[in-house]
Amino acid sequence: MLSNKEVNAMKKVIDAQKLDYILLINRFDINAPGFYPHQVCYHVEVYDMEMRLIFSGKSRTAYDFSKKIYFGVLNYYYKNAADDVFGQVKNLLKK
């Protein structure tokens, strides 16, 4: 939840940049050990120019990996999770 101070600051950015929407990535996580399959997940919120919440969601990606993973592979998973959640937002904004 954004404070009034944060909302006012965001409204200033929206006005100055003439934005229609603002997207906030409010959390990124990888499931803790013991969960299977492991998930790389972005949590996002989309606000309109009045800072009204119009979308809240998260990516839906699952991968089989262990405690050790090459950075390049993990980076690939990050990108796929981002593509998934941004695709959801794109579909929402088309409506």
Total number of domains in the chain: 1
Between the alpha carbon of residue 78 and those of residues 17, 27, 66, the distances in Å are: 28, 13, 16
Between the alpha carbon of residue 60 and those of residues 33, 63, 68, 79, the distances in Å are: 18, 10, 22, 12
pLDDT at residue number 34: 58
Domain range for 74 is 4-94
Residues 6+ away with beta carbon under 8 Å from 59: 40, 41, 42, 81, 82, 84, 85, 88
pLDDT at residue number 93: 78
Determine whether 59 is exposed, middle or buried from the number of CB atoms within 10 Å of its CB (0-12, 13-18, 19+).
buried
pLDDT at residue number 13: 93
Of the candidates 71, 79, 92, the residue with the CA atom closest to the CA atom of residue 21 = 92
pTM of the model: 0.70
pLDDT at residue number 32: 56
Low-confidence ranges of the chain (pLDDT < 70): 31-37, 66-67
Residues 6+ away with beta carbon under 8 Å from 42: 25, 27, 28, 58, 59, 81, 82, 85
